[in-house]
Amino acid sequence: MKSALITIGATREYIDPVRYISNESSGLQGMAIIEHLIKNKIKTVCLCGHISAEKIVSPYIKYINVTNAKDMLKAAKKYSSVDIAIFNAAVSDYRVKKISLTKIKKQENLVLSLIKNPDILLSISSMKKRPKIVVGFAYETNNYKTYAKKKLTDKNCDYLVLNYPYEDNKIFSNKKNNGLILDRNLKWTNIGNVTKKSFAKKIIQHIISNSND
């Protein structure tokens, strides 16, 4: 395994010049994954949304900053000829139909017309020349395994990393993560409630040890 593409952080879908729709994401887990890709000397392109985590500097990593889902998909298609693509970003499912060019003034009620964003994971996994291995992420608050199995199948993933809250750990902006990894044979591998660095290491080791390269 020599090359990788990873998406991290949160996309922002602007409503007007100052307001936007987004998802919760610090980029900590994405950076931890990048660290272990680099340790395995895998040349990596990172499509980076909004993050609070500090970027790792290395000759093995190239960052491309993206704002919204459409930009992220365009860049993902451009850099899709890789051995492994990991879709860790928290992508907004919707965007406003029309962005206001001026700041919207405060109103008693504000109605926004939303339209669906392109599905980046499905778009890349369905390409004729797709990455050799496609890894999706899912954060679920209930019916964890049911929803994860459906996403792996629907999105044509080779692996699906399932994250879910554990006791007082809601994952976001936390040093620890919690979850499992699911493969195409619907076999679960427990990662557990561990630090995000350990979580990342277990994911990369599991995929590398089960790949044919």
pLDDT band at 159 (very low <50, low <70, confident <90, very high): very high
Per-residue pLDDT tens over the stretch 178-197: 899 999 999 999 998 899 99
pLDDT confidence of residue 90: 95
Domain boundaries, position 55: 3-210
Helices 196-210 and 28-39, packing angle to 10 deg: 50
Q: Tell me which of 173 and 99 has the higher pLDDT.
A: 99
The helix (H) or strand (E) run that includes residue 14 is strand 12-14
CA atoms within 13 A on the CB side of 116: 3
Per-residue pLDDT tens over the stretch 121-143: 999 999 999 999 999 999 988 89
Under DSSP, is residue 159 helix (H, G, I), strand (E, B) or coil? strand
- Domain count for the chain, please give it: 1
Question: Catalytic positions, please?
Answer: 23
- DSSP code of 169? B
pTM for this prediction: 0.93
pLDDT confidence of residue 213: 57
Per-residue pLDDT tens over the stretch 63-83: 999 999 999 999 999 999 999
- 213: its two tokens: 């390269």
Which residues fall within 8 angstroms of residue 89, CB to CB, at 6 or more apart?
7, 8, 9, 10, 11, 25, 30, 47, 49, 72, 120
- 172: its two tokens: 């976001």
- Using the structure block, give the residue that is written with the tokens 């900590």: 28
Q: Is 44 exposed, middle or buried (0-12, 13-18, 19+ CB in 10 A)?
A: buried
Q: How far is CA 150 from CA 137, 183, 211, in A?
A: 12, 12, 23
